[in-house]
Chains A and B, each alone.
Chain A
Amino acid sequence: MKEGSKKMADSEILHVGIDLGTSRSAISASNGERFVVDSFVGWPVDMVAKKVLKRNVMIGHEAVSNRTMLDLHRPLERGLLKEGSDKDVEAVKELLRHLLRLVGVDGNGGKIPTSNVRAVVGVPAAALRTNKQYLRNTMKGIVDSLMIVSEPFAVAYGLDALLHTMIIDIGAGTSDFCVMKGRYPTEEDQRTLTTAGDSIDTNLHKLISERYPQANITIFMVREWKEKHSFVNKAPEKVMVTAPVNGVPTEFDITAEMKAACETLLGPTVETMLDLLSRVEPEFQERVRNNIILSGGGGLIRGLPEALQDALKQVGGGKVTYMQDPVFVGSDGGLALAIDAPDTDWEKLSA
Chain B
Amino acid sequence: MRMGKIDRAKRRVLRQAVADNLETIRGLPPRGVRPNVRRSRLWMRRLSIVILPVMLAGSTFLLSKPVTEPMFVVQRAAHKPITTASVSQPQSFASYEKVDPAALPLNVHRVVIDAGHGGTDPGTALPTLAEKAITLDIATRLKKLLEQGGFEVITTRTDDHLIPLRERAHIANASASDIFVSIHVNSIVEHTSEHGVETYYLGPTRDAKLTKLAAEENRESGYSLADMRKLLDGIYMDARRDESLRLASAVQSQLYGGLRGADPGLQNWGVKRAPFLVLVATEMPAILAEVGCMSNDTEVAKLHQPEYRERIANALFDGIRAYATEKK
* Cα of A163 to Cα of B29 in the assembled complex, Å: 26
B9 touches A77 (CB 8 A): no
Specify which chain A residues have a CB less than 8 angstroms from the CB of B16 in the assembled complex.
Answer: 183-184
* Cα of A210 to Cα of B101 in the assembled complex, Å: 27
With A147-B18, A187-B98, A191-B238 in contact, is A210–B257 under 8 Å at CB?
yes
Q: Mark A328-351, 1 if CB is under 8 A from B, else 0.
A: 000000000101111001001100
State whether the Cβ of A251 lies closer than 8 Å to any Cβ in chain B. Answer: no
Specify which chain A residues have a CB less than 8 angstroms from the CB of B29 in the assembled complex.
Answer: 129
B100 touches A78 (CB 8 A): yes
State whether the Cβ of A99 lies closer than 8 Å to any Cβ in chain B. Answer: no
B10, B14, B249, most chain A CB atoms within 10 A: B14
* Cα of A334 to Cα of B25 in the assembled complex, Å: 19
Contacts of B256-270 to chain A: CB distance below 8 A = 256-257, 268, 270
* Cα of A129 to Cα of B31 in the assembled complex, Å: 11
* Cα of A184 to Cα of B11 in the assembled complex, Å: 10
Choose one: A162, A191, A206, A345; the contact of B13 (CB below 8 Å).
Answer: A162
**Taking the nearest CB of chain A, how far is it from the CB of B253, in angstroms?**
6
State whether the Cβ of A275 lies closer than 8 Å to any Cβ in chain B. Answer: yes
Choose one: B13, B21, B257; the contact of A349 (CB below 8 Å).
Answer: B21
Chain A residue with the shortest CB-CB distance to B5: A340
* Cα of A149 to Cα of B18 in the assembled complex, Å: 9
**A-B CB contacts (within 8 Å), total count:** 116
B14 touches A341 (CB 8 A): yes
State whether the Cβ of A295 lies closer than 8 Å to any Cβ in chain B. Answer: no
**Taking the nearest CB of chain B, how far is it from the CB of A46, in angstroms?**
29
Specify which chain A residues have a CB less than 8 angstroms from the CB of B25 in the assembled complex.
Answer: 136, 349
* Cα of A188 to Cα of B237 in the assembled complex, Å: 13
Contacts of A192-208 to chain B: CB distance below 8 A = 192-195, 202-203, 206
B18 touches A193 (CB 8 A): no
**Taking the nearest CB of chain B, how far is it from the CB of A41, in angstroms?**
20
Chain B: interface residue total (CB-CB under 8 A): 48
* Cα of A163 to Cα of B98 in the assembled complex, Å: 24
**Taking the nearest CB of chain B, how far is it from the CB of A70, in angstroms?**
25
Specify which chain B residues have a CB less than 8 angstroms from the CB of A267 in the assembled complex.
Answer: 203, 273
Contacts of B113-168 to chain A: CB distance below 8 A = none
Q: Mark A176-196, 1 if CB is under 8 A from B, else 0.
A: 000000111011100111110
A193 touches B238 (CB 8 A): yes
* Cα of A77 to Cα of B9 in the assembled complex, Å: 33
Specify which chain A residues have a CB less than 8 angstroms from the CB of B27 in the assembled complex.
Answer: 129, 133
State whether the Cβ of A153 lies closer than 8 Å to any Cβ in chain B. Answer: yes
**Taking the nearest CB of chain B, how far is it from the CB of A267, in angstroms?**
6
State whether the Cβ of B22 lies closer than 8 Å to any Cβ in chain A. Answer: yes
Q: Mark A135-157, 1 if CB is under 8 A from B, else 0.
A: 01000000000111100010001
With A129-B24, A268-B241 in contact, is A345–B100 under 8 Å at CB?
no
Q: Mark A113-143, 1 if CB is under 8 A from B, else 0.
A: 0000000000010111101110010000000
**Taking the nearest CB of chain A, how far is it from the CB of B214, in angstroms?**
15
A337 touches B245 (CB 8 A): no
B30 touches A162 (CB 8 A): no
With A149-B17, A260-B270, A341-B18 in contact, is A194–B6 under 8 Å at CB?
no
State whether the Cβ of A80 lies closer than 8 Å to any Cβ in chain B. Answer: yes
**Taking the nearest CB of chain A, how far is it from the CB of B23, in angstroms?**
8
With A153-B17, A157-B13, A183-B16 in contact, is A194–B100 under 8 Å at CB?
yes
State whether the Cβ of A325 lies closer than 8 Å to any Cβ in chain B. Answer: no
Chain B residue with the shortest CB-CB distance to A146: B21
A183 touches B13 (CB 8 A): yes
State whether the Cβ of A271 lies closer than 8 Å to any Cβ in chain B. Answer: yes
A210 touches B268 (CB 8 A): yes
A136, A157, A192, most chain B CB atoms within 10 A: A192
Specify which chain A residues have a CB less than 8 angstroms from the CB of B242 in the assembled complex.
Answer: 193-195
* Cα of A328 to Cα of B37 in the assembled complex, Å: 40
Q: Mark A159-173, 1 if CB is under 8 A from B, else 0.
A: 010110000000000
With A203-B249, A275-B237, A340-B6 in contact, is A183–B12 under 8 Å at CB?
yes
* Cα of A124 to Cα of B271 in the assembled complex, Å: 26
Chain B residue with the shortest CB-CB distance to A82: B102
Specify which chain B residues have a CB less than 8 angstroms from the CB of A133 in the assembled complex.
Answer: 24, 27
Chain B residue with the shortest CB-CB distance to A314: B206
Chain A residue with the shortest CB-CB distance to B23: A129
* Cα of A264 to Cα of B273 in the assembled complex, Å: 10
- Contacts from B to A (Cβ < 8 Å): 2-3, 6, 9-10, 12-25, 27-33, 95, 98-103, 203-204, 237-238, 241-242, 245, 249, 253, 256-257, 268, 270-271, 273
Instruction: Add 11 more A-B contacts to A157-B10, A194-B102 (CB < 8 A).
Output: A147-B17, A162-B13, A183-B12, A186-B31, A187-B95, A187-B98, A192-B100, A194-B100, A210-B253, A339-B2, A345-B18
3 shortest A-B CB distances, which residue pairs?
Answer: A184-B16, A345-B18, A78-B102
Chain A to chain B contacts (Cβ below 8 Å), 7 pairs = A129-B23, A149-B20, A182-B9, A184-B13, A187-B32, A345-B14, A345-B18
- Contacts from A to B (Cβ < 8 Å): 77-78, 80, 124, 126-129, 131-133, 136, 146-149, 153, 157, 160, 162-163, 182-184, 186-188, 191-195, 202-203, 206, 210, 260, 264, 267-268, 271, 275, 337, 339-342, 345, 348-349
